Structure 1
């Protein structure tokens, strides 16, 4: 048994911690009524289980003792494709928060971690 098999077996235990769901929105090309090409924001995946966590690390830069280096990380299943720059709507019941992915996801056999920023998109 290799390490990836062991990590993949941990997937259900990690997924159990996902307490929210998220939708992925991307700009998709479409044809406008006047025949011109354009892009519109469209949901590409809906209701994917997730968890949002804060990664708070102390600053290691000299003279930056109280610098806030925290960032937000969205955890989700390994099979979800989240392109860089896509808009994410995280919801838990009636509460919704908007984010934007900022980096290429870090993929593991059991889950993936996506750095996100809060973002107000329409």
Structure 2
């Protein structure tokens, strides 16, 4: 059996585990009314089934104190390979905003995207 056919059958099993949904936004150039160029966030995809996973023990120590309590940790998001994600995309999952840290690892059955969460407590 061809490995591509075998891996495509694994897609349904991987998607069965997706328990969250995401909205994916990308910063794109547009022309303002005065003719100048500007950048704005554009929603590329909504209701994207996905799953989040911690990338290690980082989630235990995810705040640092200073003038403000900064929340910062990394996650990995799993989703269908049908969606095109790019480094720097904004991803909102359950009301929490993340940034796509790097280009995704795309497989036949799914893709994995390293995400960064930054915010204040």
TM over 0.5: yes
Q: After superposition, what is the alpha-carbon deviation per residue over 1:40-67, rounded to whole angstroms, capped at 9, x for unaligned?
A: 111111111101111227xxxxxxxxx9
Structure 1 CA distance for aligned equivalents of residues 31 and 19 of structure 2: 38
Aligned to 1:112: 111
Which 4+ stretches in 1 moved above 3 angstroms? none
Matches within 5 A, 1:80-99: 80-91=83-94, 96-99=95-98
Q: CA RMSD in A?
A: 2.1
Size of the aligned set, in residue pairs, is 107
Unaligned runs of 5+ in 2: 63-72
Work out whether 1:12 is the aligned partner of 2:12: yes
Q: After superposition, what is the alpha-carbon deviation per residue over 1:17-73, rounded to whole angstroms, capped at 9, x for unaligned?
A: 10111111111111112221111111111111101111227xxxxxxxxx99x8410
Unaligned runs of 5+ in 1: 58-66
Conserved 8 A contact 2:74-2:117: no
**What is the TM-score when the length of structure 2 is the normalising length?**
0.80
**Bigger fraction of residues in helix:** 2
